[in-house]
């Protein structure tokens, strides 16, 4: 007896459908996007002999910290995007699996009915049927039924192949996320080491040298009162963002990758300040440098963002009177400084509102 096409394919279909749906690793484990550039070079410095040398080495270490912080934030952005993608693909795979399962059940049922119907010779069925005329009338539709069966089988096989392709793509995305997690963890470890290096350098200094460094930092620092903003023609919401940032100086600390409520890194402070007035900013100083519009130093207004280093990896907020507020680094914390005295290369300014 000739076995129909759908029956011959049934075993293969059952094997494909019976494969266990691969377990997908939890995408919400540890964060880890891969930075676009390799970590910045870390340069070991000799022990300082003078306060000036100590200040130069601290500046270098803190610049390295800032660069690593930026890579870390970029990695976190990429990881968040990757996780959203994986979650979306997971749902697509689950929907596709349900569609394949449904088609597989249809093929199995059709194949079983066809097999049962063709197990007896047509002539025998005519003579044994209780209604031979009705049975003969049905024969005219047999070829159409066969075509429908074959169409269903082809659809099932096509959707099964699509499902397998989606699974392979999802597996690749999950592997990429794991690599990104490791990259972010490596950047975090580098930052921890840079902070430890700064502290080790300070520990090498005499008490007099440490006091001289503190005095220099105090000379660079500035005071500010929000009443100084009265009369400014800056955008009202930008002024509220300034007030938010300045208020954080007193009771918040620097933590890389943080954006509040009581800990911030440089771009995190800008993000939180503008978020308080309904404006969304990316958690990255280089990404923030593309938001709003460019302004020159001669037209700065309170609320404008100031960018530092090349490539950009630090951001502060201009608050008026030649002063800025920023989350400086793990040693200095959040502070208000004079713009003209900041040691880093100035890379430009952007106006977010107005």
Set out the domains of the chain in order of their start, with CATH numbers: 5-204 (1.10.287), 221-351 (3.90.1720.10)
Collect contacts of 326-329 with beta carbons under 8 A, ≥24 apart. 326/266, 326/269, 327/254, 327/264, 327/265, 327/266, 327/268, 327/269, 328/62, 328/254, 328/266, 329/62, 329/65, 329/66, 329/254
* Average predicted confidence (pLDDT) for the chain: 80
pLDDT-derived band at 114, boundaries 50, 70, 90: low
pLDDT for residue 238 is more than 80? yes
CA distance 326 to 338: 11
Question: What pTM, to 2 d.p., does this model score?
Answer: 0.64
User: How confident is the model over 179-233, as pLDDT tens digits?
Assistant: 888 888 888 898 888 888 888 888 888 888 888 888 888 887 888 988 889 888 8
pLDDT at 122: 46
User: How many Å is the Cα radius of gyration of the chain?
Assistant: 34
Q: Which two tokens stand for residue 4?
A: 């129909």
pLDDT at 131: 55
| Structure-model confidence comparison of residues 176 and 259, the more confident one | 259
Instruction: Label the pairing between strands 314-320 and 323-329.
Output: antiparallel
Average the pLDDT over 147-155 and give the result: 77
Q: Which two tokens stand for residue 17?
A: 């459908």
Q: Which two tokens stand for residue 25?
A: 């690793």
pLDDT at 242: 97
pLDDT at 55: 84
pLDDT for residue 334 is more than 50? yes
pLDDT at 13: 38
* Other CB atoms within 10 Å distance of the CB of residue 259: 20
| Structure-model confidence comparison of residues 107 and 207, the more confident one | 207
pLDDT at 198: 87
User: How confident is the model over 1-31, as pLDDT tens digits?
Assistant: 444 433 344 334 343 444 333 333 333 333 3
User: How confident is the model over 311-331, as pLDDT tens digits?
Assistant: 999 999 999 999 999 999 988
Catalytic residues: 266, 314, 326
User: How confident is the model over 259-307, as pLDDT tens digits?
Assistant: 999 999 999 999 999 999 999 999 999 999 999 999 999 999 999 999 9
**Virtual torsion, Cα 246, 249, 251, 252, nearest 10 deg:** 110
Highest mean pLDDT of the ranges 48-52, 64-68, 276-280, 329-333: 276-280
pLDDT at 118: 54
Highest mean pLDDT of the ranges 1-10, 152-161, 335-344: 335-344
Q: What is the separation, in whole angstroms, between the first and last Cα of the chain?
A: 83
pLDDT for residue 244 is more than 90? yes
């Amino acid at each position: 007896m000739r076995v129909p096409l759908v029956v011959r394919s049934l075993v293969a279909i059952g094997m494909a459908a019976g494969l266990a749906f691969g377990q997908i690793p939890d995408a919400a484990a540890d964060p880890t996007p891969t930075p676009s550039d390799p970590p910045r070079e870390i340069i070991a410095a000799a022990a300082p002999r003078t306060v000036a040398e100590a200040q130069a080495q601290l500046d270098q270490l803190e610049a390295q910290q800032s660069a690593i912080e930026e890579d870390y934030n970029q990695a976190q952005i990429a990881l968040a995007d990757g996780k959203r993608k994986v979650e979306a693909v997971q749902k697509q795979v689950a929907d596709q699996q349900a569609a394949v399962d449904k088609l597989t059940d249809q093929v199995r049922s059709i194949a079983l009915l066809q097999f049962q119907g063709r197990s007896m010779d047509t002539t025998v069925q005519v003579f044994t049927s209780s209604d031979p005329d009705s049975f003969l009338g049905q024969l005219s539709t047999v070829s159409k039924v066969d075509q429908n069966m074959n169409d269903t089988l082809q659809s099932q096989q096509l959707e099964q192949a699509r499902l397998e392709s989606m699974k392979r793509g999802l597996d690749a995305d999950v592997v990429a996320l794991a690599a990104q997690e490791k990259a972010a963890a490596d950047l975090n470890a580098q930052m921890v080491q840079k902070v430890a290096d700064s502290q080790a350098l300070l520990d090498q200094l005499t008490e007099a040298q440490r006091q001289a460094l503190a005095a220099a930092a105090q000379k660079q620092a500035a005071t500010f009162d929000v009443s100084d903003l009265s009369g400014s023609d800056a955008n009202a919401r930008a002024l509220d963002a300034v007030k938010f940032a300045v208020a954080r100086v007193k009771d918040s600390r620097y933590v890389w990758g943080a954006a509040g409520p009581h800990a911030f890194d440089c771009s995190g402070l800008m993000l939180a300040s503008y978020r308080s007035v309904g404006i969304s900013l990316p958690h990255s100083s280089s990404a923030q440098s593309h938001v709003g519009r460019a302004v020159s130093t001669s037209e700065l207004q309170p609320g404008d963002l100031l960018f530092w280093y090349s490539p950009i990896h630090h951001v502060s907020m201009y608050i008026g009177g030649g002063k800025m507020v920023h989350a400086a680094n793990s040693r200095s914390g959040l502070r208000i400084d004079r713009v003209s005295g900041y040691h880093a290369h100035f890379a430009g300014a952007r106006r977010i509102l107005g």
